[in-house]
Structure 1
């Protein structure tokens, strides 16, 4: 390997080491304070749960009144079932049913909370990735004996991988919320007279609010836990084969 390449690799390692030290010393305490203030703010107070639910703007059509038996016979004919929509609601150029009240919007209050939390979730994933690489570079070459410090490094790496996986699941949870809510809204559009479908939309909104609050709490607790573990075992992480024989916390 050329000298320039060796120097670049060394500079990259030094930069990664500096970034990781700054994460543990400065960034993690800031994140703990920031997320703690957020979860205790008015945005995530439990009494606000009833405020985040919104009624969807799909009107209940007027019932069809049949005055005589001929109308009943016509309504029961098979061809009547094929009339899925009136001509006045037909969008020209494509077979799409146009809702009388226009499009059904998302729950804006929950969407605003999601927009606040998603960057913080992605930030946690990036921080875990940086710390994983830093610890991986601290692992010494394989030798017999005196490997307790290496086991500390491996346990910390395992903890970071688990946190990274859980953070990714928070993003999946947000996607599942939109998919589930969209299916329920479709049911309301198809069966506007069934109040149970309308109620299920409100219930899924309340559930998502609780999930978002718990996600904010988990993010705070995760930063606190990682800061605690890395700080207590920092010597073993940086010098796994030193003379210090203290056990891992």
Structure 2
């Protein structure tokens, strides 16, 4: 008699197989349709780059007058108190945030709140499909390996999708880190417009990247659904018995 642990493991496998088959036949088509609808919303469709710009809240402070000592006529040495000849020059203070903190880009943060659960779901679904196919791979035998090769190729494609989805998360974190570095440059050198422009370009690039991520997630769902449905029979029954046809 099998013990309780073996029974529970088998129940887990059966439940996983049922979830995976429901996922690929019903949930994937629903996901593809919902992602298409999301890409048609104003947040992702026909949005001007100007709509994703964010005020840095770091003003360029007005110039201030700074005293500078000049040398005496007798030499290049610093002047004495009697001979000191002060000159007023124009300067700009740095590392000043008179208006408070620098906010994140709100339009992009709103998009990220929508995109991150989509990426996470793709990772979870890929992992489920990966285990589903792994459970259906038969024991290693000689001959009649065509169906098994289909399983292995499909499994490799799913693993690639899972890795790409995880990389999308890293892309989002790298955006915030890169933006923080450029914003710190703006805070240190508020009078250099190139740093401010760099923030704008970085935000526009991230907007395009988030749109592309949603497109890629939809494409991955579509390709996985197409591949699995075309090879569903071989994935579920990789080996067929030809013994009866020999006689």
* Alignment counterpart, residue 176 of structure 2, candidates 165, 172, 178: 178
Given that 2:133 and 2:155 are in contact with CA atoms closer than 8 Å, whether structure 1 keeps it comes out as yes
Given that 2:186 and 2:192 are in contact with CA atoms closer than 8 Å, whether structure 1 keeps it comes out as yes
For structure 2, the residue ranges without an aligned partner over 5 or more in a row are 71-84, 243-247
3-state DSSP class of the match of 2:48? helix
The runs of 4+ residues in structure 1 deviating greater than 4 Å are: 66-76
Given that 1:236 and 1:242 are in contact with CA atoms closer than 8 Å, whether structure 2 keeps it comes out as no
Return the offset for 1:64: 2.1
Given that 1:16 and 1:130 are in contact with CA atoms closer than 8 Å, whether structure 2 keeps it comes out as yes
1:17 aligns with 2:17: yes
For structure 1, the residue ranges without an aligned partner over 5 or more in a row are 77-83, 86-96, 245-249
Structure with the bigger percentage of strand: 2
Higher mean C-alpha deviation, range 124-133 or range 44-53 = 44-53
- How many Å separate the matches in 2 of 1:47 and 1:4? 57
Change in CA separation of 1:72 and 1:144 when aligned onto 2, cut-off 3 Å: farther
Return the offset for 1:4: 1.9
- How many Å separate the matches in 2 of 1:201 and 1:16? 46
Higher RCO (Cα < 8 Å, 6 or more apart): 1
- How many Å separate the matches in 2 of 1:39 and 1:243? 47
- How many Å separate the matches in 1 of 2:164 and 2:86? 59
Structure with the bigger percentage of helix: 1
- Render the CA deviation track for 1:123-179: whole Å, top value 9, x for unaligned: 100000011011001010111000011100000110011001111111111011000
How many residues align structurally?
226
Q: Greater CA radius of gyration, 1 or 2?
A: 2
Return the offset for 1:2: 3.7
3-state DSSP class of the match of 2:161? helix
Given that 2:133 and 2:235 are in contact with CA atoms closer than 8 Å, whether structure 1 keeps it comes out as yes
- How many Å separate the matches in 1 of 2:16 and 2:26? 15
- How many Å separate the matches in 1 of 2:162 and 2:136? 20
1:234 corresponds to: 232
* Alignment counterpart, residue 125 of structure 1, candidates 98, 123, 142: 123
Given that 1:128 and 1:163 are in contact with CA atoms closer than 8 Å, whether structure 2 keeps it comes out as yes
Q: How does 1:74-223 map to 2 (within 5 A)?
A: 99-223=97-221
Given that 2:63 and 2:90 are in contact with CA atoms closer than 8 Å, whether structure 1 keeps it comes out as no
- How many Å separate the matches in 2 of 1:75 and 1:56? 25
1:52 corresponds to: 52
3-state DSSP class of the match of 1:42? coil
Return the offset for 1:48: 2.7
Superposed CA RMSD: 2.3
- How many Å separate the matches in 2 of 1:189 and 1:25? 53
2:82 corresponds to: none
